[in-house]
């Protein structure tokens, strides 16, 4: 039985934020892998300690490890975990996450290139990250953020209603205040418009969003909800017609992919990896960041232009289907098996002096 160690932030039980590793673990186990995963500890220092302890304690159990890499303090954790794995002679795969990772890499090119070059293989969930991080490792593999497409009931939004949904962590980089500002511009002509916002709170950002809604005079038209259990997301998405993604920094947001699978009309800011996930005018409408006028105008198009909603809805579902677990899981199994067998080659890593990625990205406070 092949054995793998998954190292990442497994925090859906405490924070409502679900990592890909949490879904990958049971699927690999069902496919016949012996899976160890860490860590569920919420305090950051205890989480790092648990990761390192698991690397050592289960050293005779796993053959390969997969380590999630974010920017900021989490990058240091990845460095320490990978150092421990190298001391034990364990091969590992790195999985890159976070729309702010390219900005972090431009500030610390040598450290990033050193870590990426030490891995047997490096993956990224979006073409955006593959391209943006190419100067630090030239053979990064694309393994999309996967979803179970069939769990999302598809309804073609041929005649969309102004039922707006927003699902993300209430955090400044996701700019939740843009949603009520957009609703305020829409209400004079569409008094039936309603917005539902759901997600875990970070640093009081939900309270700030509520204040923004009060200042715009739209609080009565907004329903706020807390963290959304994964099992409830498909049913919740089925109630809406238009999905808003308001981020200022992004990579390949799973919430947008879920909305596309359900057939919602997606209107998103054009930041980070979003244009690699959704094509403007084909399976979504993309607008500049922090521009309520542009977002409200896109909503008006969907509500008034004949056949636009239906076309976007159908293409969105087709795009999401390409990221189904039935497609992505075999790719994970093949990669991990190749690493165990030693069939992955060392990557030619460009020296950091060659410069930062040519691809531009929006800066932000975290990955």
Mean predicted confidence (pLDDT) in 116-138: 95
99 Cβ partners below 8 Å, 6+ apart?
128, 173, 247, 249, 250, 251, 271, 272, 273, 361, 362, 364, 367
Write the CB contacts of 61 (distance below 8 Å, at least 6 apart in sequence): 3, 5, 34, 36
CA distances from 51 to 5, 26, 40, 229 (A): 10, 19, 9, 25
User: What average pLDDT does the segment 69-80 reach?
Assistant: 94
pLDDT tens for each residue of 307-338: 999 999 999 999 999 999 999 999 999 999 99
Residue 153 has pLDDT above 70, yes or no: yes
- Give pTM, 2 decimals: 0.80
Task: Give the 3-state secondary structure of residue 52.
Answer: helix
CA torsion through residues 250, 253, 259, 262, sign: positive
Contact between 365 and 100 under an 8 Å Cβ cutoff? The reply is yes
Neighbours of 304 (CB within 10 A): 11
Integer Cα distance of 320 and 24 in angstroms: 18
Span 253-281, average pLDDT: 94
pLDDT at 344 exceeding the cut of 50:
yes
- Backbone torsions φ then ψ of 123, nearest 5 degrees: -120, 160
User: What would the pLDDT profile of 91-122 be if each residue is shown by its tens digit?
Assistant: 999 999 988 899 999 999 999 999 999 999 99
C-alpha dihedral sign at 17, 18, 20, 25 = positive
**Ordered domains of the chain (ranges, CATH):** 3-146+325-354 (3.40.50.2000), 149-321 (3.40.50.2000)
């Amino acid at each position: 039985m092949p054995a793998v160690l998954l190292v990442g932030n497994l925090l859906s039980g405490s924070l409502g934020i679900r990592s890909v590793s949490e879904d990958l673990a049971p699927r690999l186990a069902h496919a016949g892998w012996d899976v160890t995963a860490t860590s569920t500890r919420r305090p950051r220092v205890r989480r790092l300690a648990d990761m390192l302890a698991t690397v050592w304690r289960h050293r005779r159990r796993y053959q390969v490890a997969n380590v999630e890499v974010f920017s900021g303090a989490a990058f240091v954790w990845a460095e320490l975990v990978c150092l421990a794995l190298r001391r034990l002679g364990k091969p590992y795969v790195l999985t890159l996450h976070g729309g702010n990772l390219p900005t972090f890499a431009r500030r610390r090119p040598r450290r990033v290139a050193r870590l990426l070059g030490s891995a047997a293989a490096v993956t990224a969930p979006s073409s955006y990250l593959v391209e943006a991080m190419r100067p630090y490792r030239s053979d990064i593999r694309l393994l999309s953020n996967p979803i179970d497409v069939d769990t999302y009931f598809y309804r073609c939004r041929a005649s969309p209603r102004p039922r707006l949904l927003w699902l993300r962590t209430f955090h400044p980089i996701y700019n939740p205040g843009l949603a009520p500002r957009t609703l305020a511009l829409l209400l004079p002509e569409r008094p039936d418009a309603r917005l539902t916002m759901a997600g875990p709170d970070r640093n009081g950002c939900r309270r700030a969003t509520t204040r923004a809604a009060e200042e715009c005079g739209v609080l009565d038209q907004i329903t706020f909800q807390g963290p959304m259990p994964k099992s409830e997301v498909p049913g919740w998405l089925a109630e809406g017609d238009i999905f808003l993604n308001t981020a200022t920094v992004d990579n390949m947001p799973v919430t947008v992919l879920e909305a596309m699978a359900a057939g919602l009309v997606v209107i998103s800011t054009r930041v980070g990896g979003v244009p690699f996930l959704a094509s403007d005018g084909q399976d979504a409408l993309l607008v500049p960041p922090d521009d309520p006028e542009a977002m409200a105008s896109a909503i008006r198009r969907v509500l008034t232009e004949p056949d636009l909603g239906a076309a976007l809805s159908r293409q969105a579902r087709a795009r999401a289907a390409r990221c189904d677990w039935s497609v992505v899981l075999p790719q994970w199994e093949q990669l991990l098996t190749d690493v165990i067998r030693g069939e992955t080659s060392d990557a030619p890593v460009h020296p950091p002096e060659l410069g930062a990625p040519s691809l531009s990205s929006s800066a932000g406070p975290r990955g």
